[in-house]
Amino acid sequence: MSFETERNAHRAWRLPANASLLQGGVMLLAFGILVAAAIWPLTGSVLAIVIAVLAAATVVGLALRIPPWAAMRLYGGRPHDPAALQQAEGLIAELSARAGLRRSPRLYVIPSTLLSAFSVGSAQASAIAVTEGLLRRLTLREIAAVLAREVSLIAFGDLLAFGIADIVTRIAQALYYVGLALAALNLFRLISGEDLVSWLTVALFVLAPALLNLLQLRLPRARDFQVDRGAALMTGDALGLASAISRLETPAGSLKDDLLPPVPARKVPLPSLLRYPAATERRIAQLRTLDPPPMPPIDIEEGPRISLVGVGPIAMRPRYRWPGVWF
């Protein structure tokens, strides 16, 4: 089968182009409404709407402009050593070619024992982060499947929506702390007899992370199944992806913990809850029923993998990292 035929077969798995953009748009709209409602008592209706629109535009600008290396620094990611991870480098190059990407994503390693991976950037400039625990505990076949899924997200154009969700999540967490500061200010003003900041403003700021996280969890998850299919097609190994999914780490605690103060999302090993996948059992069941993909399997030869990013138990242990990610 020719490469062009293989690439066209891969494209056949894609969701409509507006699927991820719709999710990003919903997140932006909800963020704008929350900001406008929170500052309305302080500024009035017109100025509140103007500020909300500017805030939403800033989020989009940041999502489009932040380079992948800068985003990776927020999560402690370090560029991998090509000499130490030659197998992963080769896999990313092969997967990128199969996905039709002009540039291969750069691989970053996060020093953590959790099993997690995510991607940032765009099809023109992207990066994939994998944790040290994933490299150490998954087989190369499973690592290939995880990398294929991230490459699928890049090829499908989903990273803009994820970038918007990630930035909105960080801003919401900052608003949480602003809300706490305003609550403390109100208590001081109660004592001194001064005018209070609107308690509606305080409440919306404090609840901002929980409200936006809940919205992310309620967005449709059909994209997850489509990305799984794209990854299975690229590797020619649906069962390898099913095996990887069954082993990937889920957040410590329950999702309820990540919707309640203090600091919601503190236990999610991903930049935002929009990246939180659909039910593992359903995804595995669908992968097991896929027809044999038309793309030939990637030739994978297990061998020793060396990674010294997270040296020692202190650097490697999962822990809360500001602003709200559990790595």
The residues annotated as belonging to the active site are 150
User: b/e per residue, 18-41, with b = 16+ CB within 10 A?
Assistant: ebbeebbebbbebbbebbbebbbe
Q: Which of 271, 27, 241 is nearest to 141 (CA)?
A: 241
Long-range contacts of 200-203 (CB under 8 A, 24+ apart): 200/37, 200/38, 200/41, 201/38, 201/39, 201/41, 201/42, 203/179
Tell me the H-state helices in the chain: 3-11, 18-43, 45-65, 68-74, 86-99, 132-137, 140-156, 159-192, 199-218, 222-235, 238-247, 280-288, 313-316
CA angle 215, 216, 220 (to 5 degrees): 100
Q: Are 246 and 284 within 8 A, CB to CB? A: yes
How far is residue 327's CA from residue 316's CA, in Å, rounded to a whole number? Answer: 9
- Which residues touch 37 (CB under 8 Å, ≥6 apart)? 48, 200, 204
> In whole angstroms, how large is the CA radius of gyration of the chain?
21
280 exposure class (CB count in 10 Å sphere: 0-12, 13-18, 19+): middle
- Which residues touch 325 (CB under 8 Å, ≥6 apart)? 75, 265, 268, 269, 270, 271
- Tracing tokens 């109100």 back to the chain, one arrives at 186
How far is residue 233's CA from residue 293's CA, in Å, rounded to a whole number? Answer: 5
